[in-house]
Amino acid sequence: MLKAVIFDMDGVIIDSEPFHWEVNKRLFKSLGIEISEEEYRHYIGVSNTTMWGAIKRKHGLLQSVKELAALQVEGNIDFMKSERVDPVDGVIDLLSNLKKAGALIALASSSPYQIIGMVLDRFNIKRFFTIVVSGEDFERGKPSPDIFLKTAAMLGVLPVQCIVIEDATHGVHAARAAGMKCIGFANANSPGQDLSQADKIVYDFRALGIDEMLSMV
């Protein structure tokens, strides 16, 4: 029986990948490194520290991973303060319908709490989530299942009673490794993601029915 639905945030709640790419391109340039869009796609869905750890090793950056991640967070915050950002089409109605159906709802994002808090406040959706978990709490980020297993434990439910909604390859693999069902959201702005391991792939949340989700578990 379905007890909980765990949402990723970037690319699922907020269509953030396009502006993340723009912010990071500027940061890469300021650091004097070149990272192609194809290479960057491998970092979609992982934590800031995981991404910058890999980039630091590959490009021999002198700054610490903590310093690099902080620069990225600062850039994203500045962008969100100055530009309009919108929720993914249909996701707020989906959250509302799940809440009405009595499902527990959690947010498990690789983003830091500071960014998560801004998104929840901006869209006025904090009320939908029983708990919120950030990847900054974990040594191993997605595709490790740690964040999803911890989220289920905090909700007091078994992994087999959960559905994860993810838009990234790493997130789908993390959900499956946790023993959870997974809905892959094919976001056109999260390119190059392999969602083939998801139990179901959707292209529009408005076409995703609650009864259909209940039948998956």
The structure tokens 């974990």 sit at: 138
What's the pLDDT at 18?
A: 82
Enumerate residues 6+ apart whose C-beta is below 8 A from 190.
11, 17, 44, 167, 168
In contact, 48 and 73? CB cutoff 8 Å: yes
Residue 16 DSSP class = -
At 37 the pLDDT is 86
CA distance 121 to 125: 7
Judged by average pLDDT, the poorest of 38-47, 81-90, 168-177 is 38-47
CB 132 within 8 A of CB 111: no
pLDDT band at 101 (very low <50, low <70, confident <90, very high): very high
Tell the residue number behind the tokens 């830091």, with chain if given. 112
Asked if residue 45 has pLDDT above 80, the reply is no
Question: What is the average pLDDT score of the chain?
Answer: 93
pLDDT exceeds cutoff 80 at 187: yes
For 131-160, the pLDDT digits (tens) are: 999 998 998 889 999 999 999 999 999 999
Backbone angles phi, psi at 12, to 5 degrees: -120, -50
Q: What is the mean pLDDT of residues 37-65?
A: 88
Percentage, residues of the chain above pLDDT 90? 72
Start-to-end CA distance of the chain, whole Å, equals 5
Q: From 7, 40, 3, select the one nearest 167 (Cα to Cα).
A: 7
pLDDT of the residue at 48: 83
Q: Sketch out the chain's domains with CATH numbers.
A: 4-15+86-214 (3.40.50.1000), 17-82 (1.10.150)
Kindly state the average pLDDT of the residues 8-19.
Answer: 90
- Which neighbouring-strand residues pair with 87? 14
Output the pTM of the full model: 0.87
